[in-house]
Amino acid sequence: MSVSTNLHLSVIGTGYLGATHAVCMAELGFDVVGVDVDPVRIRRLAGGEVPFFEPGLEELLRKHLESHRLRFTTSVADAAATADVHFICVGTPALPGADAADVSYIDAAVTGLVRGGIRPGTLVVGKSTVPVGTAMRLAGRLDAEASDVELAWNPEFLREGSAVDDTLCPDRLVFGLHPDPVRAGMARSVLRRVYAPLIDAGTPVVAADYATAELVKVAANAFLATKISFINAMAEICAVTGADVIDLSAALSYDSRIGGRFLRAGLGFGGGCLPKDIRAFQARVDELGAGPALAFLAEVDAVNSRCRTRTVALTTQLLGGTVTGRRIAVLGAAFKPNSDDIRDSPALDVASALHRAGAAVTVYDPAAIPNCRVSHPQLTYAANAVHAATGADILLHLTEWSEFRELEPAALTPLVADTVIVDGRNTLDPAAWRAAGWAYYALGRPARPASRW
């Protein structure tokens, strides 16, 4: 496989992953074309507008549109004719009515490249999260339908809210390569050229087979989900023993074998990746006949769901056993801070459940309200946290935006009907809220603080 001295890249799919990858590859100095079947999305990107919230991305997009390193098109044939390396960054959602991943968009991207006249000597690189076995199947397809085109798998590890840094300063690069050592060597050399600035900066590289590369992403997500659900399971135990899960977590975090990251109890995980990916992982392993190996993930998922129902139950209890007619202010709607993504949002799940139970729910989020208005028109939305809290019988903190940590509890006291707060993320300062006269509650924490040294 031969490539030009100055590599030209294409990115197939310009959703969250693809748009971020295209912009960041331009930042690394490559000429990049982004491709998508959605003409509206392409027009917005070509006009310098990122169609989702991601800190720092829009500035880089405009920078590289102006530098002419970056352009966007709906023509896969254009990309096939001009690029040396094609990154596939399309979605793999759950199949309708099932947990298994839908890889039809991956197949469609490969079909588009083949029919568009993909040039011999080019490299196709999958970045999407796929069921193990997908890469080998696609490599066989390219062998049959294209001439001298190689395939590699390079999974992404982006976190919404820090995707630019995660792309430009990753903690590792994983290259999934063909079992034939010669073909693997050619693909690896091209990937090393693409990522040369990152590798030269010290980013570790793991070169592996296709299956290992595919498993790295889903295994990482499964581990993180397990760690989050573990501490939330401990929060359930703390609730019935009177222990404090925050102190428990702090004590665990000093153990170097455990660490403190992803060990904060609260409302649990959500978003478009973690829940979907662990379920698809389970489904694929079931297909392979090794289902018992991941049986524990069903309980991980169940613990996560219980965080939401327990928050609704706590809120209902604090309001005297019913929420009918009560005014509830919800701070947060995105599934995590620094994002406008509301897919499988724990915050919106809780807000919607309380609305269905008869509460008057008002929601504020710094970035996600436009998306919420479309998907949850039944809820009321506020322009800021103060407006949301005004007249509320209870305040729920459900997405840990820094803006909410900076609220002055005393300033809200005269505005609310009752000074009760549920900290669904355990990131507020209980002492500050209690000092301002608020009754502070959180899952896995005693209603009253323990004495401190």
Q: pLDDT tens-digit profile of 273-323?
A: 999 999 999 999 999 999 999 999 999 999 999 999 999 999 999 999 999
Q: Are residues 68 and 153 in the same domain?
A: yes
Q: Are residues 165 and 234 in the same domain?
A: no
Q: Are residues 44 and 189 in the same domain?
A: yes
Q: Are residues 235 and 122 in the same domain?
A: no
Contacts of 356 (CB under 8 A, 6+ apart): none
User: Is residue 126 in some structural domain?
Assistant: yes
Instruction: Give the whole-number percent of the chain exceeding pLDDT 70.
Output: 98
User: Is residue 213 in some structural domain?
Assistant: no
Residue finishing a domain among 147, 172, 203: 203
Number of H helices, E strands in the chain: 19, 14
Residue finishing a domain among 140, 170, 203: 203
Residue finishing a domain among 203, 236, 264: 203
Q: Are residues 25 and 117 in the same domain?
A: yes
pLDDT band, residue 366 (cuts 50/70/90):
very high
221-225, Cβ contacts within 8 angstroms, sequence gap of 24 or more = 221/129, 221/273, 221/274, 221/277, 221/278, 221/281, 222/277, 222/278, 222/281, 222/294, 222/297, 222/300, 224/262, 224/269, 224/274, 225/269, 225/274, 225/275, 225/278, 225/297, 225/300, 225/301, 225/304
How many other CB atoms are found less than 10 A from the CB of residue 291?
14
Q: Are residues 159 and 290 in the same domain?
A: no
Q: Are residues 278 and 384 in the same domain?
A: yes
Entry field: residues in the chain: 453
- Residue 155 is classified by DSSP as -
- Residue 162 is classified by DSSP as S
Q: Are residues 313 and 261 in the same domain?
A: yes
CB 19, CB 34: distance < 8 Å: yes
- For the cut 50, the answer to whether the pLDDT of residue 4 exceeds it is no
Q: Are residues 338 and 367 in the same domain?
A: yes
CB 219, CB 424: distance < 8 Å: no
pLDDT band, residue 252 (cuts 50/70/90):
very high
User: Is residue 294 in some structural domain?
Assistant: yes
- For the cut 70, the answer to whether the pLDDT of residue 453 exceeds it is no
Q: Is 273 a catalytic residue?
A: yes
pLDDT band, residue 447 (cuts 50/70/90):
confident
Order of strands across the sheet with 173-177?
70-73, 31-35, 8-12, 85-88, 123-126, 150-153, 173-177, 205-209
Residue 229 sits in a domain of what CATH number? 3.40.50.720
User: Is residue 447 in some structural domain?
Assistant: no
Domain that holds residue 90: 8-203
Q: Which two tokens stand for residue 314?
A: 């706590």
Q: Are residues 155 and 82 in the same domain?
A: yes
User: Is residue 382 in some structural domain?
Assistant: yes
User: Is residue 288 in some structural domain?
Assistant: yes
Compute the average pLDDT of residues 208-227: 97
Q: Are residues 87 and 42 in the same domain?
A: yes
- For the cut 60, the answer to whether the pLDDT of residue 116 exceeds it is yes
Contacts of 69 (CB under 8 A, 6+ apart): 26, 29, 30, 31, 32
User: Is residue 68 in some structural domain?
Assistant: yes
Q: Which member of 89, 238, 273, 307 is catalytic?
A: 273
User: Is residue 71 in some structural domain?
Assistant: yes
Residue 5: the pLDDT is 43
Q: Are residues 404 and 364 in the same domain?
A: yes
- For the cut 80, the answer to whether the pLDDT of residue 449 exceeds it is no
Residue 6: the pLDDT is 84
Query: What residues form DSSP beta bridges with 86?
Result: 10, 124
| Cα gap 236→252, rounded to integer Å | 16
- Residue 451 is classified by DSSP as P
The domain total for the chain is: 2
